[in-house]
Amino acid sequence: MLRSVLIANRGEIAVRVIRTARTLGLRTIAVYSDADRDALHVKLADEAHYIGPASARASYLDVARIIEVARKARAECIHPGYGFLSERPELVEGSIAAGIVFVGPPPAAMRAMGSKSEAKALMAKAGVPVVPGYHGERQEPAFLKQKSYETGYPVLIKAVAGGGGKGMRKVDKQIDFENALAAAQREAESSFGDRRVLIEKAIENPRHIEIQIFADNHGNAVHLFERDCSAQRRHQKVLEEAPAPGMTAELREAMTKAAVTAAKTVGYQGAGTVEFIVDGAKGLRTDGYYFLEMNTRLQVEHPVTEMVTGLDLVEWQFRVAAGEKLPLEQEEIRLQGHAVEVRLYAEDPEKGFLPSTGKLHALQFPKGDGIRVDTGVAAGDEVTPFYDPMIAKLIAYAPTREEALGRLAHALDDTVIVGPRSNVAFLHALVMLPAVREGKIDTGLIAREASALGSEPRPTDFAAAARAVEKLVAREQSRMALRTRKRSNERHSPWDARDAFGFNAARETSYAVNINGTRTLARVRFDADGIHASVDGQKSINCAVVEAGEAVIAWHQGRQTKVLPEEAIAVDLEHLDTGGVVSAPMHGKVLSIEVKAGERVSKGQRLVVIEAMKMEHALTSPLDGAVSEVAVSAGDQVAERAKLLVIVADQSPADSVAKKS
């Protein structure tokens, strides 16, 4: 076995690789950018080396730098994880030249699969079904248009160097072809520096089913069954599972065979995934699957395969890299139970899935039977704009698909992510969706069900806001208590003892708060049981509340509601009796009187501030008028209902007319 590994990656996958490397006894060497000095993967590794600025281009994508660090740290091998440099032949060649083992395929195999069109041509030659279309060298618009016509609309224009759905356009009608081609080329150029495209028949009701394969340097190649990744948003995987719903023995046989053929054709070594598009329109049939591409690395969704096979794919990667034979023969690899994975992202489904950044004020993941969480962050960490905003992967395993989905739903219920926006509520809705439960997922499902999945602006969760208000009020009370204690400079001040205010006297106050950016009044009732808030007529609901600076954020059903105090003090609205007497709403101390006798006041103007119940309450005038009497002075203790001041209302002719009629 190898003795040390440099992990040329960050986040969740770096942590994942470190975990297995350690159990195999490898010394683990992490690399980090400026943005990752305190990252989890850095803390977990045996040693960590700085590789440059936050921008990935200047750090995690710098091949020369990575190899230099690997040499200096005397790393015996480099594990690239996925993304970043994982499919860059230059890293493989550079490693080999430096005498370092690359945990992955030989550069030639990587190159052969790196171009979608070359890979397709190779596969077609090897007898693996490919989607009808054109994947040759010619790129003139008129020629490509002619090929699209021959293929038959709808077609997909795809970047030859594509990945992550970039540079891909669907064309339904011939008339739209030129515009779509130009857009695909532009995107391909900016994403991959290669504007070449290919044409492919667009499959209706497409399902994405991929086969995990493994090969060693002794001529052995096996498959580890399929994963279904049909739940996609804009060609990006959202939920992955194994086995594929509705998979038949015949189709599995055909697809796994094709995948192993694909691997052997290019002289593959290590872990790889052969992706197929499957025509789901007529049910799963052996004449309806087509090779899409091969990913020459570990896949994000590899945990579902690990759960249903009970194998550690990273361990297999290290063994193959060390020159060992595959640990198992094909017949010894068994598929058991069902596993489903969802990707938790820092993004806002209610705002077009805009990536969201910021500090993770709270982060809590589920635990339990059959639940696995792969993450690269911890509470207090920052989600930065520099890298992929994935927070974690949540994987549920159970004997049946239904149970696995049930476990996943519960696991999502038990997940708390406070800080950046996240897709937890969206994922929960997805897992609950009848079509998902029935296993009727095609790649267009999520787009069609956008509103059922809550991926559009939703109303404020006032019940959760009310819970946050309660926390806010409790915090203000304890702050007041602290201040009072300091001021009175004695341990048993009557003003920090709860009984001094008689909690037996229930009362209600309104607070001005800011909920998700909007000023709102919250009603708060104090009684013997404590503090009870309501907002917009909705009572508070039991949910997690987290302090984030001055704000309190409620976490309820996978969504966050942020509440800020509008003013540090409360605004009391019910203190004026019919005679124009402003009276104390409760026992308390007059902190300040903000008007003088004879002064004109207008509605809403602040009159007196009273400290009571360990909070400051501003009493405001409910009408326009004049102060006729001030009955107290600052510093006075006042009893509940004690007269504070008197206001004489303005005489309004309109009023008297209205009253008469």
Tell me which of 27, 169, 207, 297 is the catalytic residue: 297
**Tokens 């004489």 — which residue?**
648
- The verdict on 131 binding ligand ADP (CB under 6 A) reads yes
Binding mask 103-122 for ligand ADP (x = CB under 6 A): --------------------
- The verdict on 152 binding ligand ADP (CB under 6 A) reads no
**Beta strand 581-583 with 570-572: parallel, antiparallel or unpaired?**
unpaired
The residue from 122, 156, 239, 463 that contacts ligand ADP (CB under 6 A) is 156
Let me know if 438 is exposed, middle or buried by CB neighbors in 10 A (0-12, 13-18, 19+).
exposed
Distance of alpha carbon 77 from the chain centroid:
32
Min dist CB 445 to ligand ADP, Å, is 11
Rounded-to-10 torsion of CA 579, 583, 585, 586: -140
The residue from 16, 135, 208, 532 that contacts ligand ADP (CB under 6 A) is 208
- Closer residue to ligand ADP (CB): 268 or 397: 268
**Distance (Å, rounded) from C-alpha 229 to C-alpha 241?**
7
Residues 262-321 that bind ligand ADP (CB under 6 A): 275, 277, 292-293
**Distance (Å, rounded) from C-alpha 229 to C-alpha 212?**
12
Please name which of 472, 350, 517, 364 lies closest in space to residue 421, comparing C-alpha atoms.
350
- Closer residue to ligand ADP (CB): 302 or 319: 302
Question: In angstroms, what is the C-alpha Rg of the chain?
Answer: 32
Confirm if 473 and 512 have CB atoms less than 8 A apart: no
- 367-370 — which CB contacts under 8 Å span 24+ positions? 367/414, 368/407, 368/410, 368/411, 368/414, 369/407, 370/307, 370/396, 370/397, 370/398, 370/404, 370/407
- Closer residue to ligand ADP (CB): 207 or 372: 207
Min dist CB 446 to ligand ADP, Å, is 11
Min dist CB 135 to ligand ADP, Å, is 11
Min dist CB 166 to ligand ADP, Å, is 6
Number of residues lying near ligand ADP (CB under 6 A): 22
Please name which of 559, 532, 554, 558 lies closest in space to residue 543, comparing C-alpha atoms.
554
Question: CB-based contacts of 159: which residues, under 8 Å, 6+ apart?
Answer: 116, 166, 167, 168, 184, 187, 188, 191, 192, 194, 195, 196, 197
The residue from 187, 200, 301, 374 that contacts ligand ADP (CB under 6 A) is 200
- Closer residue to ligand ADP (CB): 74 or 448: 448
**Distance (Å, rounded) from C-alpha 640 to C-alpha 643?**
9
Binding mask 436-475 for ligand ADP (x = CB under 6 A): -------x--------------------------------
- The verdict on 162 binding ligand ADP (CB under 6 A) reads yes
Residues 213-252 that bind ligand ADP (CB under 6 A): 232, 235
Is residue 297 annotated as a catalytic residue, yes or no?
A: yes
**Distance (Å, rounded) from C-alpha 625 to C-alpha 644?**
16
Confirm if 511 and 522 have CB atoms less than 8 A apart: yes
Min dist CB 230 to ligand ADP, Å, is 7
- The verdict on 587 binding ligand ADP (CB under 6 A) reads no
The residue from 136, 163, 245, 406 that contacts ligand ADP (CB under 6 A) is 163
Min dist CB 165 to ligand ADP, Å, is 5
Q: Is the dihedral of CA 241, 243, 247, 250 positive or negative?
A: positive
What is the DSSP-derived secondary structure letter of residue 324? P
Min dist CB 185 to ligand ADP, Å, is 15
The residue from 30, 66, 203, 404 that contacts ligand ADP (CB under 6 A) is 203
The residue from 165, 245, 327, 358 that contacts ligand ADP (CB under 6 A) is 165
Binding piece for ligand ADP, criterion CB under 6 A, among 73-81, 162-170, 240-248, 540-548: 162-170
Binding piece for ligand ADP, criterion CB under 6 A, among 118-126, 158-166, 512-520, 624-632: 158-166
Min dist CB 168 to ligand ADP, Å, is 6
- The verdict on 94 binding ligand ADP (CB under 6 A) reads no
End-to-end CA distance of the chain: 97
Confirm if 334 and 328 have CB atoms less than 8 A apart: no
Q: Which residues bind ligand ADP (CB under 6 A)?
A: 131, 156, 158, 162-166, 168, 200-203, 206, 208, 232, 235, 275, 277, 292-293, 443
Indicate which residues carry an active-site annotation: 297
